[in-house]
Amino acid sequence: MDELNLNQVARAARCWSGYRSANCSGTSDWSLHAVPDIGDGSTPGFVVRLGIPFVMSTASTVGLDALCEAAGPVRWFQLYMLQDRGLATALLARVHAAGFSVLELTVDTAVTGRRVRDIRNGFTLPFQWNARKLLDVSRRPRWALQMLRAGSPTLRLFAEAVGRVPSGSTITEVMQQQISNAFTWDDLAWLRARWPGKLVLKGVVTAAQTRRAVDAGADGVVVSNHGGRQQDGARSTIECLPYVVEAAAGRLEVLADCGFRTGADIAKAIALGAGAVQVGRPALFGLAAGGGEAGVCQAITILADEFDRAMAMTGATSVGSLRGRVEPGSMDAPSDRR
């Protein structure tokens, strides 16, 4: 057994973006979660105190100015590239002026996946009632009363950017109305020239894509499969991560997203070479179950505790010493897959 002094375990890590993460994690971008009054704006307060970045989504239910009041100094913005370049340029200028230092461009939604669950549940914008939804709401009176007071969630930031509230028979239809389906690697130079801060590409899953991201001047990539909602049967991000890390070769920061539900999951990604992990659903579960900031606080605290335990059980006393602690032969060699 390796000797380990638990008093010396340190889980903090500093990334190029200028933040010190308490558990090598940050919140992922969220869109259209129906927790009235305590939506996107309730989470930044706690993550700011931990030094964790809050990533604001283009599909946020809170306006830019409202979120900035709570987001603190470490602000990241997730961008869905708009079809209208003029509107996109205006949005970028506004985001930068609001103090966002990192732009996270989602690159895997030029075509939106067919989300059968949304169709089955009648997930539309604006929200439309039917007998099934009324029955569902009647079983959650507290939520229903909050929703009655606050109104249905809507794409407030999209409305600020394009001048109207988007609508459609499904959320997929709404997003396709707004997002460019013609944004290519060549167009990335246009975005790089207009964004003075750090630029991160979210949705990179192969070594070839990583090398192109380096050539395009990206500062980082997020290994992500969009929560498994885009391409059915796509490889998990933890499977793709080693190949991306190898291709990056230290030339840009590599983060991971999607499927990370515990602190031990985060530790696995760090051991495989990720600089940090973005978490979305765990924080959202805490938000919904805990009624606001207290719930998010508990969720992130649980992740941090689990991360500590995973580090201790592997004998790692720092994030640096955690890297590479993967059993030989447990995965195919990165060079075997391009």
Identify the active-site residue in 226, 242, 260, 287. 226
CA distances in angstroms from 276 to 12, 77, 127, 151, listed in the order given: 11, 17, 36, 35
Rounded to the nearest 5°, which phi and psi values hold at 58?
-60, -30
CA distances in angstroms from 61 to 32, 40, 87, 123, 207, listed in the order given: 6, 7, 19, 15, 34
Residue 96 among the catalytic residues: no
Which of 300, 210, 221, 224 lies closest to 257 in space, CA to CA?
224
The distance of Cα 310 from the centroid of its chain, to the nearest Å, equals 23
Distance CA 33, CA 36 (A): 9
Beta carbons of 259 and 228 less than 8 angstroms apart: yes
Beta carbons of 181 and 110 less than 8 angstroms apart: yes
Which of 295, 298, 290, 300 lies closest to 142 in space, CA to CA?
290
What is the SS3 assignment for 265-298?
A: HHHHHHHCCCCEEEECHHHHHHHHHHCCHHHHHH
For 79, the enclosing helix (H) or strand (E) is: strand 75-79
For 88, the enclosing helix (H) or strand (E) is: helix 85-97
How many CB atoms are located within 10 Å of the residue 305 CB? 12
For residue 21, list its beta bridge partners. Answer: 13
Encoded tokens for 172: 């997929």
Distance CA 155, CA 164 (A): 9
Beta carbons of 230 and 114 less than 8 angstroms apart: no
Catalytic residue list: 226
